[in-house]
Structure 1
Amino acid sequence: MLGIVVVGAGLGAMAAAARLARAGHRVTVVERSETHGGAVGRWERDGFAFDTGPGLLHFPAVWRDLFVKTGREELGEVLDLRQLDPAVEHRFADGTAVLLPQGAGGVRRALDASLGAGAGERWASLLRRARAAWETTRRPLLEEPLTGRPAPGAFAEDAYPAARRGLLPWGRGADRTLARAAAAELRDPRLAALLTGTVRDWGVDPERAPAGAALLVYAEQTFGSWYPAGGMRALADAVYERCRARGVEFRFGAEAAGIVERSGRAAGVELADGSRVAAEAVVWGAPGVGAPPVGASRFTLLVALRGARPPGTPHRTLVHAADGLTVSVLRPDDPALRPDAGHEAAVLSAQVSAGPGPWADAREVEAFAERLLDAAEAAGLGLRGRVLWHRARTPLDVERETGVPGGVVPAPALAGGGGRFLAAPNTGRLPGTYRAGGLAHPGGGLPHAGMSGAMAAGLITEGPDWRGST
């Protein structure tokens, strides 16, 4: 038996590899870089360590399922996974701050206390409709593979049931964006920013996304945000070790240049050095197949701070700056990320346009880094005076490390917009080819990438008619 080649060692690709190996296939992973993890990287200096990709985990059940299905040790036995509580702090340009606990009841009370009576009910009302969108699209978007082109009308309509004001709904067609829904239904710029800023932190543009993108906020509030001790890189390491335990072979420094075709189906991959790896099926978990991805990127600032982390500091803060920028500030209380108790590591980031933009100019990079620090300072976080040094990462760094053109950070797939917010199908053009990872259905984000690996593996092991687990 020739076995299966998986292209790329990102989290989605490794999720497919582990499942396929557990099913009895001989699996070889070819990866152009010298390490695993894809976008889930790590950068270290002077005893400080930083996650360079996702900083939090949502839907940990996706990864718990992977470990249950691929071996004896469960995820909790190899990873110290902690739920954030409080879940997040929001700071607004007018000086208002709201600390949101884990749990819907506590959120309503916190919003009423900080933003005024009725804020909690307006928020809960919107999330009830977001829950309806979640329940409508959860299975087709997160649990069922996408094969070929979607059927006419599939995923075309936004599943969010808009509230009516007067005789007409607040928006129709292309006007039914998340930003419009937030403004019309929440009726407080700060509450609207809480919604749109959270969705933007998922990599989704609220000015373009359908209102159903609110389901991301519903899911985050319902299922929580989680952090593994040691940083997100610890999750990548755990999945890599599970693959190795299942007998997956990794070839690092091996860049796939294309798929080998024989008799009208995939027969392996050709590497950049001209050699070939024969296979009966290929799972492509890297950029380079199909049209270039469309979307936004992220600018990330890794900050080394002198002085101990102040007691009670929230792990996650979203700063809603006066200039409209949403800045994510992650300050994990994790000894593994700092040289000693007298220092602190922080990661500031914001959504930016993909592509080279101004990022080849060191002055522009430093100016944007200062903009993030200014936003944090205006919000009262008190970081600037403690900065030892900082390291900026731009879309050019994302492109160099992941290979994704323009440094695009894929967003989760969404229903609506005529299907414009879907990722590539899990099946390729050529029989015997499959896709996994953030560029494949159901899109970007660690839970979605993990599901893409499950979908690719399921289609191979169960056949083309497989419609997901029940």
Structure 2
Amino acid sequence: MARIAVIGAGMGAMATAARLAVAGHQVTVYERGSTYGGSVGRYEREGFAFDTGPGLLHLPAVYRDLFVKTGKRPLEECVELVQVDPAVRHLLADGSEATLPNVSRGGAEAVLDRAFGTGAGGRWSAVLGRARDAWDATRRPLLEEPLRTDWRALGREPYPALRGSGLLRRRPPTLAEVAERELGGRLAGLLESPVLAHGLAPGATPAAATVLPYMEQTFGSWYVRGGIRALATAVYERCLERKVTFEFGAAVREVLVRDGRAAGLLLADGAEVPADFVVCGIDPRQLPPASVPRPAGAVPARGPGVPSRITLFLALRGARPADAAHRTVVHSPALAAEARAAFAGEHTAPPTVTVLRPDDPATRPDADHEAVTVSAVCAPEGVLDWSDPALTARYAQALLAAAGRAVPGLRERLLWQELRTPADVARATGAVGGAVPPPSVAGAGGRLLHPANATALPGLFLAGGWAHPGGGLAHAGMTGALVAGLIVEGAGFRGSQ
């Protein structure tokens, strides 16, 4: 039985802790804050409740596997999963709209033909069919296996070239070029907006990012009753069942090294914690660079250029209409300019906004009220000064105006609002600038990959959204299986079969 110290109590870190504990190890989690979940937090006020991080779960199989492998009760006995149908309502800048069903290729084709003209649905399905080829080519090495030493092979573009387009003869296409050439016009935004929502700029992201909307349409969008925070609670409780120990208010200063390998932690209060293995489940930039060494030729750490999120919580009087869509995306009239704003800090472009309206009594004081969450991708603290009242006021108004398109009579129903900026995200999670890591994407020479789970320091491993295979609930959750496999089975571990 090994002593294992885990830094941080985010979703990837807890998934790792639970898997290692069930393998018979003594696991202790050291969390700087007062609670678990990392970015998957909760804001409550006057009977209203809001998720501070992701509001929906995609690829729930990751957490189903976690619960199967770590205990007797499956995921569905610990939380109530509900398929969101329709999956998403799109409101475009010109006033047109399209509401896509959940997990229905034929249904999506019919909706798009009605919204954008005959043939639009076929073009959409053709693009996602090519995205499926990219998914099949990269699923295991990009999601289900530890990052290979020959990771540069994932730098090749897996998205099949459209015959006659000429794009791959010149260079691999970007996601934005695929959207424009293969979909065109208003339909292009339906492919670009979910990629931007993951924190990736469509004009600078390879076509392989089409796997993200493909995953959503194929595996569906799911809501957890009580909010995604309830999923974090279920993972935390599974850790406790497996005898994982949590130390809250225990900030880590650095990783201790003895005889050339990780030997424990130095806490902020000066206490030393011995360990046989250390798992870093936080943004590695929070630790001294020498604490998290990477081997020569490794994937560089993600960080510079990673955007954040700004979120507005709205407490409304009046009941939620029964036919309201759970998720509405209100499109920016200039998505390319918006993407530049999110990465460069030019904050004049109207943002693409996601509006979540869950039909969940746990989010509101009673049936005569409604809780609405509005969010957008934005530049992190440090690129913009989120202590500037003028800046925060401008963003709050932009989010409120966009939400008004999705929620009729919004301003008349508004009781109060609460804005959460990247500076708030940084304080809550410790992530530098409040940056929110995107999932790894193949292509672009490997520029959009994350560092491997094994580091150059023996005994030190990386979990969570800042390590392979990247951010998002599903990807961060997968780090638990990868890190536990590397520790339990050794460097020869190649992922579950």
TM class by smaller structure:
over 0.9
The 1:333/1:378 distance shift into structure 2, 3 A limit, reads closer
Please give the residue correspondences for 1:229-248 in structure 2 after superposition, counting only pairs within 5 Å.
229-248=225-244
Tell me how far 1:381 sits from its aligned partner: 4.0
Match of 1:88 in 2: 88
Instruction: String of CA shifts for 1:189-208, please: whole Å, max 9, x gaps.
Output: x2100110111122222111
Conserved in 2, the CA contact under 8 Å of 1:92 and 1:379? no
| SS in structure 2 of the partner of residue 20 of structure 1 | helix
Match of 1:467 in 2: 494
| SS in structure 1 of the partner of residue 355 of structure 2 | strand
The 1:218/1:362 distance shift into structure 2, 3 A limit, reads same
Conserved in 1, the CA contact under 8 Å of 2:40 and 2:51? yes
Match of 2:177 in 1: 180
CA distance in 2, matches of 1:343, 1:264: 58
Match of 1:127 in 2: 128
Asked if 1:110 corresponds to 2:111, the answer is yes
Match of 1:417 in 2: 444
CA distance in 2, matches of 1:309, 1:363: 32
CA distance in 2, matches of 1:362, 1:262: 48
Match of 1:263 in 2: 259
Match of 2:16 in 1: 16
The 1:365/1:171 distance shift into structure 2, 3 A limit, reads farther
| SS in structure 2 of the partner of residue 89 of structure 1 | strand
Asked if 1:278 corresponds to 2:274, the answer is yes
Tell me how far 1:162 sits from its aligned partner: 2.1
CA distance in 1, matches of 2:108, 2:136: 21
The 1:402/1:171 distance shift into structure 2, 3 A limit, reads farther
CA distance in 2, matches of 1:292, 1:466: 24
Match of 1:441 in 2: 468
CA distance in 2, matches of 1:26, 1:143: 25
Q: What one-letter code is carried by the residue in structure 2 that aligns with 1:106?
A: G
Conserved in 1, the CA contact under 8 Å of 2:29 and 2:247? yes
TM-score by length of 1: 0.96
Match of 1:43 in 2: 43
Match of 1:355 in 2: 381
| SS in structure 1 of the partner of residue 203 of structure 2 | coil
TM-score by length of 2: 0.91
Identity of aligned residues (%): 55
CA distance in 2, matches of 1:266, 1:237: 30
Q: What one-letter code is carried by the residue in structure 1 that aligns with 2:456?
A: R
Match of 2:167 in 1: 169
Residues 274-283 or 321-330, more deviating: 321-330
CA distance in 1, matches of 2:118, 2:39: 42
**RMSD between superposed Cα atoms in Å:** 1.4
Q: 1:329 aligns with which of 346, 355, 369?
A: 355
The 1:247/1:323 distance shift into structure 2, 3 A limit, reads same
Match of 2:328 in 1: 317
Match of 1:293 in 2: 303
Tell me how far 1:55 sits from its aligned partner: 0.6
The 1:184/1:366 distance shift into structure 2, 3 A limit, reads same
The 1:152/1:422 distance shift into structure 2, 3 A limit, reads closer
Asked if 1:377 corresponds to 2:404, the answer is yes
Match of 1:338 in 2: 364
The 1:453/1:152 distance shift into structure 2, 3 A limit, reads closer
Conserved in 2, the CA contact under 8 Å of 1:376 and 1:382? no
Aligned length: 465
CA distance in 1, matches of 2:450, 2:250: 26
| SS in structure 2 of the partner of residue 154 of structure 1 | helix
Structure 1: stretches of 5+ with no match in the other structure: none
CA distance in 2, matches of 1:13, 1:457: 10
CA distance in 2, matches of 1:247, 1:240: 11
| SS in structure 2 of the partner of residue 164 of structure 1 | coil
Instruction: String of CA shifts for 1:79-110, please: whole Å, max 9, x gaps.
Output: 00001111110011111111111211100000
CA distance in 1, matches of 2:407, 2:493: 52
Structure 2: stretches of 5+ with no match in the other structure: 290-300, 336-350
CA distance in 1, matches of 2:116, 2:353: 20
Q: What one-letter code is carried by the residue in structure 1 that aligns with 2:177?
A: R
Instruction: String of CA shifts for 1:140-181, please: whole Å, max 9, x gaps.
Output: 01100126xx42632111111121336x237743x6110111
Instruction: String of CA shifts for 1:351-405, please: whole Å, max 9, x gaps.
Output: 1112330311122101111111112334564422211111111111111111111
CA distance in 1, matches of 2:485, 2:44: 37
CA distance in 2, matches of 1:5, 1:62: 23
Conserved in 2, the CA contact under 8 Å of 1:157 and 1:416? yes
Q: What one-letter code is carried by the residue in structure 1 that aligns with 2:161?
A: A
